[in-house]
Amino acid sequence: MTISATNVRFDDHTMWVDLSDGRTLGVPLAWFPRLLRATPAQRAEVELSRVGLHWEALDEDISVAGRGDVTRTSETVA
């Protein structure tokens, strides 16, 4: 299963990315200086694709990599 972004929104300090598997990720804008300095109108010009997020005017690309649940469990045998 390939995971992709379905929606992006921002608050004052965080970029929120909704994923196709139902999860929502919150990422600090401080991690992306171009987005941090961008206006709300510039941030809204995002293009969503199966591989990530792209802002043409800001020259910013963020990949969204995922292949479903990568959580692993292990059992300890005594």
Tokens of 48: 């969503």
Q: What is the pTM of this model?
A: 0.80
In a domain, 76, yes or no: no
In a domain, 13, yes or no: yes
Tokens of 67: 């292949």
* Residues spanned by the domain of 38: 5-63
Question: If you search the block for the tokens 């990315």, which residue do you land on?
Answer: 17
For the chain, the domain total comes to 1
In a domain, 70, yes or no: no
Q: Print pLDDT tens along the chain (78 aa).
A: 689 999 999 999 999 999 999 999 999 999 999 999 999 999 999 999 988 999 999 999 999 876 555 444 444 444
Please give the helix or strand (H or E) that residue 54 lies within, else none.
strand 52-55
In a domain, 74, yes or no: no
Residue 45: Cβ within 10 Å count: 13
In a domain, 72, yes or no: no
Q: Tell me, what CATH number does 12's domain have?
A: 3.30.2020.40
